[in-house]
C-alpha cells in the first residue's frame, strides 16, 4: 500500500502535486477552518506523514496516536506548536519552512512599522467614514521613520532582512540576540547591545524572537516602562512573547506611543479584546508570510520534505537534527 499523508487544510492541488502522484493523500476539506482535534487524532493514527499548520497542537497525545508517523511537515518557520523532543524520542522527523518566507515576512514587518508610525490605518478609515472635513498643520501627524533608531529583538534571518530594509531609510540599527551576528554588523552597520540598552534607545522596538520557554511573556510591563514614551512596539513573531495586558496598560498610560501587531496570544483574537479599542494599535490577522508566492513556496517545501522522508532521503529543512543522527546510526 502507498504511504498515507494527511494534510490539515485544503490546499491547491498544484502545490502538492508530487504527493498526489506518489502517495495516498487526504486533505481536510476546509481552507479557513481548523481540523477538529478528534479528526486529527484519527488521521494521525493511520498516517505515515502529517502536513500541518501552526494552529495544530502536535503534542504527546497526537504523537503517541501516530504509531506509523515518520514525518510531520509544519507549514511555518516557528514550531512552538510541536513537541519536538517527544517527536524525536518516537523517531518522527519534524520539518519547517524557513528561508522561503523571509523576504515576505520582513516586508510585512517593516510595513507594519510604517503603518503604525504614520497612522495609515487611522487616516484611511477617517476618509472612508466621511470624516475628512478639513486640514490643519498637525492633522494626523505621525512619526518619522527615516534617521530614527530601530531595535530588533531576535536577529535571525527575518531580523537581518528587516535590518536591511531599515538601511534604506537611513535608520540606526540596534539588535539584541542570543548570539552576536558579526556579518550583519559588518554588512548592515547593526550594533549589538543589551536588551535594556535597546529598549531605552530605540524609537521602534521590533520583536522577531522565536517563542521559547525563555521568551514567553518577555515583553512585560517592566519592559515597556524601559522604552521611550515616544516609541512604537512591533510584534511579528509570536503573540505569547508579549504580556498583552501589560501592553494595553502601557499604551493607556502613554508609556509607549503605539503598537503594530501581526500576532496575538490567542488567535483569532476576540473582537472585544481591549487592544483593539485603541486607535494607536494596528492589528493584523497573522499575515506575515501571506503572499501568494511565499505561501506557495511554503506548501511546496512541506511537500518536498514529506516526499524525501517517505522515500528514504534526508529532508531539506529538518528541525530535530537528532532524528537524522538516529536514522543514520
Looking at the annotation, which residues are catalytic? Answer: 238, 267, 286
DSSP output for 245-282: HHHHHHHHTTSSSEEEES--SSSSPPTT-GGGG-TTEE
CA atoms within 13 A on the CB side of 260: 26
Integer Cα distance of 256 and 62 in angstroms: 42
Q: Name every residue whose Cβ is closer than 8 Å to that of residue 85 and which is 6 or more positions away in sequence.
A: none
Q: Are strands 71-74 and 258-261 parallel, antiparallel or unpaired?
A: unpaired
Is the preceding omega at residue 268 within 30 degrees of 0, hence cis? yes
Grid cell in block for residue 99: 528561508
**Number of other CB atoms surrounding residue 273 within 10 Å:** 16
Integer Cα distance of 178 and 153 in angstroms: 10
Of 321, 310, 145, nearest in space to 234 by CA: 145
The SS3 call for residue 151 is strand
Residues in the chain: 329
Indicate the DSSP class of residue 240: G
Q: Name every residue whose Cβ is closer than 8 Å to that of residue 257 and which is 6 or more positions away in sequence.
A: 143, 228, 229, 230, 231, 232, 280
Amino acid at each position: 500500500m502507498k504511504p498515507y499523508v494527511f494534510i490539515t487544510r485544503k490546499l491547491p492541488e498544484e502545490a502538492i502535486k508530487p504527493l498526489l502522484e506518489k502517495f495516498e493523500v487526504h486533505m481536510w476539506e476546509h481552507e479557513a477552518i481548523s481540523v477538529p482535534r478528534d479528526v486529527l487524532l484519527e488521521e494521525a493514527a493511520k498516517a505515515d506523514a502529517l502536513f500541518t499548520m501552526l494552529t495544530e497542537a502536535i503534542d504527546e497525545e497526537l504523537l503517541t496516536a501516530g504509531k506509523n508517523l515518520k514525518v510531520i511537515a509544519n507549514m511555518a518557520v516557528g514550531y512552538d506548536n510541536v513537541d519536538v523532543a517527544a517527536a524525536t524520542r518516537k523517531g518522527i522527523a519534524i520539518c519547517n519552512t524557513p528561508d522561503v518566507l523571509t523576504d515576505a515576512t520582513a516586508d510585512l514587518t517593516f510595513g507594519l512599522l510604517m503603518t503604525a508610525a504614520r497612522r495609515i490605518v487611522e487616516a484611511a478609515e477617517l476618509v472612508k467614514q466621511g470624516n475628512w472635513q478639513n486640514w490643519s498643520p498637525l492633522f494626523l501627524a505621525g512619526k518619522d521613520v527615516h534617521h530614527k533608531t530601530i531595535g530588533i529583538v531576535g536577529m535571525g534571518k527575518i531580523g537581518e532582512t528587516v535590518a536591511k530594509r531599515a538601511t534604506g531609510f537611513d535608520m540606526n540599527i540596534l539588535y539584541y540576540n542570543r548570539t552576536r551576528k558579526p556579518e550583519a554588523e559588518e554588512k548592515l552597520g547593526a550594533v549589538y547591545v543589551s536588551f535594556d540598552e535597546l529598549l531605552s534607545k530605540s524609537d521602534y522596538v521590533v520583536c522577531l524572537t522565536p517563542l521559547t520557554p525563555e521568551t514567553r511573556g518577555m515583553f512585560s510591563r517592566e519592559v515597556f516602562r524601559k522604552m521611550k514614551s515616544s516609541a512604537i512596539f512591533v510584534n511579528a513573531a509570536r503573540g505569547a512573547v508579549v504580556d498583552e495586558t501589560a501592553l494595553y496598560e502601557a499604551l493607556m498610560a502613554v508609556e509607549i506611543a503605539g503598537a503594530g501587531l501581526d500576532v496575538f496570544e490567542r488567535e483569532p483574537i476576540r473582537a472585544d479584546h481591549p487592544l483593539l479599542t485603541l486607535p494607536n494599535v494596528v492589528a493584523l490577522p497573522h499575515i506575515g508570510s501571506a503572499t501568494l508566492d511565499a505561501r506557495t513556496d511554503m506548501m511546496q517545501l512541506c511537500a518536498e520534505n514529506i516526499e524525501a522522508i517517505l522515500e528514504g532521503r534526508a529532508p531539506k529543512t529538518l528541525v530535530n537534527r537528532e532524528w537524522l543522527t538516529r536514522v543514520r546510526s
